[in-house]
């Protein structure tokens, strides 16, 4: 085997020690172990000059652990004094680009630079740099850099690189503004060049070029994450390795020597890091990418692995909190995969595809294999489409990177050519975005993975098992071993796929227990549940016949329906009522509007405009239909309801739903009884144009929910309705894109969970 794996033991020792952060007392037994192993090493008789005894690996592990323990003793810990939860005036800076949320909040990774002592007699500022996750109730001015704000601080006890959760309690004052650099001015040209470009490509391209995801909406971001493509829009080790590999190949093609080409490629990588921004994660990605690219192109994995391990140890020594940071783990593991498997996979793929394309594909496959446990830990699910989508994206990424970067470089001098190149780069990015959005709606798009330690160890076992088999397949020298491994690799893949996916179908999706609104995925129809507590739910419409409403109720833990509201008599709203009646689920009162055919539900109670009911925690008010509505269209007789969600006597949120009421009837209703703004609005008539936009303007919701079937023949929802919802700042959630939507209210925010398959 050509790869020396001993460096991994050095890295493992440093990583484990940085993760556990043991007391200094551990240094004594570590020193004793090192002494014994060193004596054994000195006494060892080697058969050859390069052989190493079996205990070299634990010796390296112990040496790295002892070094980390020693560094933790001499390095002073910067920490906030006092209790875990506290309020302090602090100076902070955001570490990433943040975009305002629907309600105007901004939140993201930040750094606390200094804090003021709570003691009024000690007004001096104390310098202390801590990683925090900062939430501000209002976005700071554009280009603001350093802010002074009163913070509520809560210690993060769950691990990771974030030390404290921080929430702004006052209006931040700006201490300094970001100066516009050349890189900032170059980046600012990209949106202008992309005017008129396809939507998904326009949103993805900045992220794929320099890690800016601010243009992606939540639907696209969730789709990229679920399908395992989100790494394409972050500056990672594999991205930097790809850029370095492309630069090196181009320079070699121009006739430069190996050393000149290598230095030129590393210079290109350095300029790229400066262009993106010297954020710690970008610097790490640059270091890892350079190592991975050199390993791939030189074929010298033996030395590159040692450099990677030593670099990882240095980074952990400088900042031990990296041990629990997903970005660090992804960079390290992606580069490790490139070093171990990149050259072999590239050679194998090069037999049936161009060399440059084979190298790019090898980078993506190798990184995906070693990063699998981290991807599972972050997403909590497994998509069977991740590998095919990454294979589809692999040959597109080099073209996007080259065309996009050349477009940025030429934007000032040759603007027309730069715009052409930018649009050429947008189309493959658009293809990736559309593929991600399409894949999340395919059957079994996100299979749940076992939770907890068992699920994590299963992911590690899968990644490690495939890595060992592939490593042996690439480096085995004995013919017998080659034949066994040639047979073992495809068989292992078949067994794993056959075992994991059918078994995962038996695992129920994980649902939050504190949800308030559930918009069930019932296809082309309406079915919504409100959580009334203690296993009770208020049901608003049932969906069409044979809908999934019963499965939705069972999965949500709803054991009884004290109240059922039927908005109007069309089958896509009441068609599943016979199923509910025969299901054994206790049903209390059924409410219908005026104008509803009473023969359809003889036991129902008619609700009239102005009536109210409910409990102190959840109440309703009947806003419509207008009494004596003369229309013969059942849609215009739909119940218009307002629900209030109260906590401790205070309203925390509200919901307005209007069935399928159409535009003219809604306009007449609003003229007689204006509807106050609400937190959530369920779209009238599944977002059809005749549902009208007047109610959107009146309610001005933060969330706009649309219950609609995928690829329905009616063209629902209409683009005009979506545009009006966006214009009032609403976040749009659709069952055809997101599946079942769960909304949870608390004192500070609205939380949304989506389940991208019918709840059963």
- Contact call for residues 421 and 407 (beta carbons, < 8 A): yes
Beta 144-155 vs 164-168: how paired, if at all?
Answer: antiparallel
Is there a domain that residue 387 lies in? yes
Range with lowest mean pLDDT among 126-135, 167-176, 639-648, 744-753: 744-753
Residues 503 and 618 in one domain: no
Residues 26 and 53 in one domain: yes
Residues 49 and 94 in one domain: no
The residue among 74, 93, 125 that closes a domain is 74
**pLDDT computed for residue 452 by the predictor:** 62
| pLDDT digit string, tens, across residues 138-158 | 888 877 888 888 888 887 765
Range with lowest mean pLDDT among 198-207, 248-257, 293-302, 362-371: 293-302
User: Residue 671: exposed, middle, or buried by beta-carbon count in 10 A (0-12, 13-18, 19+)?
Assistant: exposed
Note the Cα 329 to chain centre separation in Å. Answer: 16
User: Residue 584: exposed, middle, or buried by beta-carbon count in 10 A (0-12, 13-18, 19+)?
Assistant: exposed
Read off the pLDDT band of 490 (50, 70, 90).
low
Read off the pLDDT band of 673 (50, 70, 90).
confident
φ, ψ dihedrals at 145, nearest 5°: -115, -70
Q: In this structure, how many other beta carbons lie within 10 angstroms of the beta carbon of residue 146? A: 18
Is there a domain that residue 379 lies in? yes
Residues 685 and 740 in one domain: yes
Q: What is the DSSP string of 687-734?
A: G-GGG-SHHHHHH--SEEEE---TT-TT-PSPHHHHHHHHHTTPEEEE
Is there a domain that residue 543 lies in? yes
Rounded distance between C-alpha atoms, residue 219 and residue 5, angstroms: 42
Is there a domain that residue 184 lies in? no
Q: What is the mean pLDDT of residues 685-703?
A: 88
SS3 570: coil
Range with lowest mean pLDDT among 62-66, 484-488, 548-552, 640-644: 484-488
Range with lowest mean pLDDT among 532-541, 653-662, 749-758: 749-758
- Contact call for residues 243 and 273 (beta carbons, < 8 A): no
SS3 174: strand
Q: What is the mean pLDDT of residues 261-271?
A: 76
Is there a domain that residue 538 lies in? yes
Residues 172 and 97 in one domain: yes
Two structure tokens written together for 630: 């003369």
Residues 252 and 315 in one domain: yes
Residues 40 and 129 in one domain: no
Question: Is residue 478's pLDDT more than 70?
Answer: no
Q: At 91, which CATH number? A: 2.40.50
Residues 289 and 143 in one domain: no
Model confidence, pTM? 0.58
Read off the pLDDT band of 48 (50, 70, 90).
very low
| pLDDT digit string, tens, across residues 551-596 | 888 888 899 999 999 999 999 999 999 989 888 899 999 999 988 8
The boundaries of the domain holding residue 63 are 6-74
258: which residues sit within 8 A by CB, 6+ positions away? 252
The residue among 74, 100, 121 that closes a domain is 74
Strand residues in 404-456 grouped as ranges (E): 447-448
| pLDDT digit string, tens, across residues 178-187 | 776 666 666 7
Is there a domain that residue 234 lies in? yes
Residues 407 and 523 in one domain: no
Rounded distance between C-alpha atoms, residue 733 and residue 12, angstroms: 44
Residue spans of alpha helices (H) in 447-602: 452-475, 479-504, 549-555, 571-574, 577-582
**pLDDT computed for residue 607 by the predictor:** 92
Is there a domain that residue 198 lies in? no
- Sheet containing strand 618-624, edge to edge, reads 612-614, 618-624, 640-647, 650-657, 680-682, 703-706, 731-734
User: What is the domain count for the chain?
Assistant: 5
Read off the pLDDT band of 480 (50, 70, 90).
low
The residue among 469, 487, 507 that closes a domain is 507
Q: What is the DSSP string of 222-263?
A: HHHHHTT-GGGGS--HHHHHHHHHHHHHHHHHTT--HHHHHH
Rounded distance between C-alpha atoms, residue 93 and residue 147, angstroms: 6
Residues 657 and 743 in one domain: yes
Rounded distance between C-alpha atoms, residue 756 and residue 736, angstroms: 9
Residues 610 and 738 in one domain: yes
Mean pLDDT is highest, among 106-115, 325-334, 542-551, for: 542-551
Is there a domain that residue 283 lies in? yes
Residues 165 and 280 in one domain: no
Question: Is residue 440's pLDDT more than 50?
Answer: yes
Q: Which residue has the higher pLDDT, 570 or 652?
A: 570
């Amino acid at each position: 085997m050509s790869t020396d794996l001993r460096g991994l033991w050095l890295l493992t020792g440093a990583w484990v020690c940085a993760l556990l952060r043991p007391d200094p007392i551990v240094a004594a037994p570590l020193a004793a172990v090192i002494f014994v192993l060193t004596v054994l090493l000195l006494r060892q008789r080697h058969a050859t000059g390069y052989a190493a005894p079996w205990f070299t690996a634990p010796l390296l592990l112990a040496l790295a652990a002892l070094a980390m323990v020693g560094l933790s003793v001499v390095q002073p810990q910067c920490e906030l004094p006092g209790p875990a939860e506290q309020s302090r005036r602090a100076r902070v800076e955001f570490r990433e680009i943040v975009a305002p949320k629907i309600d105007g909040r901004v939140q993201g990774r930040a750094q606390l630079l200094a804090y003021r002592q709570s003691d009024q007699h000690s007004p001096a500022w104390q310098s202390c740099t801590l990683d925090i996750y900062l939430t501000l109730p209002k976005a700071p001015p554009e280009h603001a850099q350093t802010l002074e704000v009163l913070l509520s601080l809560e210690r993060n006890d769950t691990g990771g690189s974030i030390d404290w959760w921080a929430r702004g309690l006052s209006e931040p004052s700006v201490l300094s503004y970001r100066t516009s650099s050349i890189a900032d001015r170059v980046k600012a040209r990209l949106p202008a060049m992309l005017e008129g470009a396809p939507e998904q490509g326009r949103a993805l391209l900045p992220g794929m070029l320099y890690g800016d995801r601010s243009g992606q909406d939540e639907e696209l971001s969730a789709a990229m994450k679920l399908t395992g493509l989100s790494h394409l829009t972050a500056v990672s080790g594999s991205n930097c390795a790809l850029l370095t590999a492309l630069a090196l190949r181009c320079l070699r093609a121009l006739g430069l020597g190996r050393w000149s080409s290598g230095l030129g490629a590393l210079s290109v990588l350095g300029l790229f890091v400066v262009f993106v921004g010297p954020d710690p994660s970008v610097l790490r990605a640059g270091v890892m990418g350079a190592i991975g690219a050199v390993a791939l192109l030189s074929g010298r994995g033996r030395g590159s692995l040692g450099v990677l391990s030593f670099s990882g140890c240095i980074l952990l020594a400088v900042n031990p909190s990296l041990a629990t940071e997903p970005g660090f783990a992804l960079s390290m593991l992606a580069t490790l995969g490139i070093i171990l498997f990149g050259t072999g996979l590239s050679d194998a793929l090069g037999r049936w595809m161009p060399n440059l394309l084979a190298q790019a594909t090898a980078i993506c496959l190798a990184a995906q294999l070693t990063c699998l446990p981290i991807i599972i830990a972050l997403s909590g699910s497994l998509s069977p489409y991740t590998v095919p989508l990454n294979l589809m994206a692999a040959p597109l990424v080099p073209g996007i990177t080259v065309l996009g970067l050349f477009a940025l470089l030429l934007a000032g001098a040759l603007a027309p050519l730069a715009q052409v190149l930018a649009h050429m780069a947008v189309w493959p990015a658009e293809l990736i975005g559309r593929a991600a959005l399409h894949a999340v709606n395919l059957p079994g798009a996100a299979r749940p993975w076992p939770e907890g330690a068992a699920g994590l160890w299963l992911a590690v076992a899968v990644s490690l098992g495939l890595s060992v088999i592939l490593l042996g397949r690439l480096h085995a020298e004995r013919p017998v071993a080659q034949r066994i491994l040639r047979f073992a690799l495809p068989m292992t893949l078949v067994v794993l796929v056959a075992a994991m996916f059918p078994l995962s179908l038996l695992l129920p999706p994980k649902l939050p227990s504190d949800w308030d609104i559930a918009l069930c995925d019932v296809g082309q129809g309406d079915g919504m549940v409100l959580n009334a507590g203690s296993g009770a739910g208020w049901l608003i419409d049932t969906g069409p016949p044979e809908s999934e409403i019963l499965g939705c109720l069972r999965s949500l833990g709803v054991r009884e329906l004290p109240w059922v509201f039927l908005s109007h008599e069309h089958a896509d709203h009441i068609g599943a009522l016979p199923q509910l009646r025969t299901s054994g689920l206790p049903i209390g009162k059924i409410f219908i509007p005026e104008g509803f055919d009473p023969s359809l539900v003889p036991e129902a109670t008619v609700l009239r405009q102005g009536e109210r009911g409910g409990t102190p925690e959840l109440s309703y008010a009947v806003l419509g239909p207008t009494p004596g509505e003369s229309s013969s269209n059942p849609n215009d007789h739909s119940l218009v309801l307002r629900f209030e969600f109260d906590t401790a006597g205070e309203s925390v949120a509200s919901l307005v739903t209007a069935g399928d009421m159409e535009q003219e009837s809604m306009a007449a209703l609003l003229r007689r009884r204006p509807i106050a703004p609400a937190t959530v609005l369920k779209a009238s008539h599944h977002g059809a144009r005749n549902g009208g936009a007047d109610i959107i303007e009146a309610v001005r919701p933060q969330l706009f929910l649309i219950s609609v079937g995928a690829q329905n023949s009616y063209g629902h929802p209409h683009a005009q309705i979506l545009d009006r919802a966006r214009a009032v700042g609403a976040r749009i959630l659709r069952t055809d894109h997101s599946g079942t939507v769960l909304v949870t209210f608390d004192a500070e925010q609205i939380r949304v969970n989506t389940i991208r398959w019918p709840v059963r």
